[in-house]
Amino acid sequence: MALHAHAPGESPFHVKGGIYLATQTYFAKHVDGGMASLLAEIHDPRLRAFIEQPFLASSWYDVLPVASLIDAEARAARQPLNTYLRERARFQAKVDLGGVYKFILWLASPDSVALRLPRMLTQLFDFGRIEILHKEPRFVRAELSGFPALLSVWYVNAFDVYCEAALKAAGAGLVGVSASTPKIVETRLGVELASFTLDVRWSAASAANDEPPSP
């Protein structure tokens, strides 16, 4: 894991508080022991105080604590990290895509959702850039840049799960997402920033029983 010099709550890279609020809700409802089980896995009192605070869904909070929190969360949930990340992302996607984005998805085709979703997700952050590099029927390639490298695994897992949920809600069949290896492009305020591409492929709903889309 990449290191940085910022104490929890003090970095200049922020995320909407709904991410942390959903973590608290997830542990309260779906993990034995609730938040107490997560706090028991956190040894840094600053990080413990950070995740215990009350969060407002639309306010901005330091995003870098996510890198340490997801390890503690996976341990508390008694799951391998990647398994936990996907399970947690499914919970978040159900909350988000069933809420403020639901109306958009109902009106949109899979093609338009695939173009909108990267930008919708980057609106959760006050950093980073997204560019659509290529599009064709049932395929979109996007480039994400200016994103803290130590959060790449978290973001890619979340994007994969969101894409599958959103595109299927819009009428797609099978959905496949692949990401390039993150490339460090600069260091800003002691944090390594990366760029990487995300390829999204999907089949028509009538082909839902076919093989998954290939990278």
Q: At 149, is the secondary structure helix, strand, or coil?
A: helix
- What residue type is assigned to position 211 of the chain? E
Question: Environment class of residue 73 by beta-carbon count within 10 Å: exposed (0-12), middle (13-18) or buried (19+)?
Answer: buried
Look at strands 129-136 and 139-148 and give their pairing.
antiparallel
- The span from the first CA to the last CA of the chain, in angstroms, equals 27
14-207 CATH choice from 1.20.1250.20, 3.90.1300.10, 3.90.1520.10, 2.40.128.90 = 3.90.1520.10
d(CA 117, CA 43): 36
Question: Environment class of residue 38 by beta-carbon count within 10 Å: exposed (0-12), middle (13-18) or buried (19+)?
Answer: buried
Extended strands (E) in 149-182: 172-179
Count of CB atoms situated within 10 Å of the CB of 29: 9
pLDDT by residue for the chain (215 residues), tens only, comes to: 445 678 999 999 999 999 999 999 999 999 999 999 999 999 999 999 999 999 999 999 999 999 999 999 999 999 999 999 999 999 988 877 776 556 566 657 889 888 888 888 788 999 999 999 999 999 999 999 999 999 999 999 999 998 888 888 888 999 999 999 999 999 999 999 999 999 999 998 865 445 545 55
DSSP tag of 11: S
- The answer to whether the predicted template modeling score (pTM) of the entire model surpasses 0.85 is yes
d(CA 125, CA 132): 18
What is the pLDDT, as a whole number, of residue 1?
A: 42
Torsion of CA 41, 42, 48, 54, to 10 degrees: -40
d(CA 36, CA 16): 23
What is the pLDDT, as a whole number, of residue 200?
A: 95
For the stretch 49-103, pLDDT in tens is 999 999 999 999 999 999 999 999 999 999 999 999 999 999 988 877 776 556 5
